[in-house]
Amino acid sequence: MLVHFTKMHGLGNDFMVVDQISQKVRLRSEHVRRLSDRNLGVGFDQLLIVDPPSDPEFDFCYRIFNADGTEEKNSGNGARCFAVFVHEKKLTCKKTLKVETAGGPLLVTLNDNGQVTVDMGKPNLDPPSLPFNVETQAISYPLKLAEQQLDIGAVSIGNPHVITRVDDVINTAVDRLGAEIENHPCFPNRVNAGFLQVLSRTQGRLRVYERGIGEILASGTGASAAMVYGRLQGWFDSRVEIQLPGGRLQIEWSGEGHSVKLTGPVQRVFEGQIFL
């Protein structure tokens, strides 16, 4: 099977994008694991699949697979790359797309300045739906780890994130803590872990340990979840710039009942083809 693909990234969060509309390929989990290898394959954080929608109300169906072959429900950086990809490939001429995902519908807009805005939907704070095994819903929860206890927020933006505020995110042990949080028994389906340093009411710094991947350079859903948690705690205003190792994202959230809107850049890296 010959697969044509495009390599793209959003702030260093990198993706292999495959169009399954104009080429007859069907990738399975074992293919994803082989392709994600940065020495023996293409190398990426996630694989993005472009499919026709199952519902004519949508323009496309967009599927996301982590490097370990597990399917993910949402990716803010991936959604921006997806929108640029289908536009560059002339699969659509629309600037605003309604996209079907496993995490629910997404609205994505290509702006005239080259940035892309994703309406990420309303944040979900209901513990059972993440799922998060606690008795009652709250803004902050204690989480007992092997050597310490953390105060965390739990927010789903199509996929689940734990957010922890830290004083110095650069010197935080993200690999160790992230792996422990990801596999904590309170999260039966595992969870993404974000470590947030609040710089001001309009700026934050974030590192994200993503389930099935490890630490990544940027996460759109992670930045959105961090903004929501920070705003609920009274640390942030309604517009915040989140600085990640790969660059900066602009996040807007007016509060309960409103959608989160994420804006950032996209870069196409190269085109390629590979035999599987």
| 267 labeled binding residue | no
Q: Was 158 annotated as part of a binding site? A: no
Q: Are residues 105 and 140 in the same domain?
A: no
183 is in an annotated binding site: no
Q: Is 210 annotated as a binding residue?
A: yes
Amino acid type, 140: S
Together in a domain, 186 and 241:
yes
* Model confidence at 6: pLDDT above 90: yes
Instruction: Report cis status (omega within 30 of 0) of the bond before 128.
Output: no
- State the CATH number of the domain containing residue 79: 3.10.310.10
How many domains is the chain built from? 2
> Are residues 240 and 131 part of one domain?
yes
160-218 pLDDT tens trace: 999 999 999 999 999 999 999 999 999 999 999 999 999 999 999 999 999 989 999 99
> Sorting pLDDT into bands at 50, 70 and 90, what band is 127?
very high
Residue 159 assigned ligand-binding role? yes
- 124 belongs to an annotated ligand binding site: no
Range of the domain at 184: 127-258
| 13 appears as a binding residue in the annotation | yes
Q: Are 74 and 161 in a shared domain?
A: no
Exposure string for 103-136, b = 16+ CB within 10 A, e = fewer: beebbbbbeeeeebbbbbbebbbebeebbbeeee
In terms of Cα–Cα distance, which of 6, 8, 4, 5 is closest to 268? 8
Question: Is 271 annotated as belonging to a binding site?
Answer: no
Predicted TM-score of the model (pTM): 0.93
- The alpha carbon dihedral of 53, 58, 59, 60 has a sign of negative
Query: Is 46 annotated among the ligand-binding residues?
Result: yes
pLDDT, tens only, 27-48: 999 999 999 999 999 999 999 9
Q: What angle do CA 142, 139, 188 make, to 5 degrees?
A: 60
pLDDT in tens, 212-264: 899 999 999 999 999 999 999 999 999 999 999 999 999 999 999 999 999 99
